[in-house]
Amino acid sequence: EPEVTQTPSHQVTQMGQEVILRCVPISNHLYFYWYRQILGQKVEFLVSFYNNEISEKSEIFDDQFSVERPDGSNFTLKIRSTKLEDSAMYFCASNIQTQETQYFGPGTRLLVL
């Protein structure tokens, strides 16, 4: 069964460093999303992406964040200058059509020191 994959599974970085989290959505899906989950808290929407552009973003998704689909398979989240409070699990998700089930990846656990 097709699944969303994410790399790396864990990332440790120093405050102020740039990180890129990578996702490979399910191949025939057209809508892509990033979410984060701070330890012990609920999942929070960051951004949605369709047709090579951002379609919706939350107030969390400030200028430090960017997303890109550099080729036909990868979908990346870049955090330009990490802060301690960026430490969280980051989930990528995709679906074939908006309002349909979103399929989540296993997540990347980011720790900012």
Partner 1 sequence: KNQVEQSPQSLIILEGKNCTLQCNYTVSPFSNLRWYKQDTGRGPVSLTIMTFSENTKSNGRYTATLDADTKQSSLHITASQLSDSASYICVVSANFGNEKLTFGTGTRLTIIP
- Does residue number 31 form part of the binding site for partner 1 (CB under 8 A)? yes
Q: How many CA atoms lie within 13 A of 93 on its CB side?
A: 22
What is the closest distance, in whole angstroms, from the C-beta atom of residue 81 to partner 1 in the complex? 26
Judged by CB under 8 A, does residue 11 bind partner 1? no
5 in helix, strand or coil?
Answer: strand
Q: How far is the CB of 65 from partner 1 (least distance, A)?
A: 16
How many residues line the site for partner 1 (CB under 8 A)? 28
**Any idea what the Cα angle at residue 99 is, between residues 98 and 104, rounded to 5°?**
80
- Cα gap 12→19, rounded to integer Å: 9
Residues that bind partner 1 (CB under 8 A): 4, 31, 33, 41-45, 48, 50, 55-56, 58, 89, 91, 93, 95, 98-107, 109
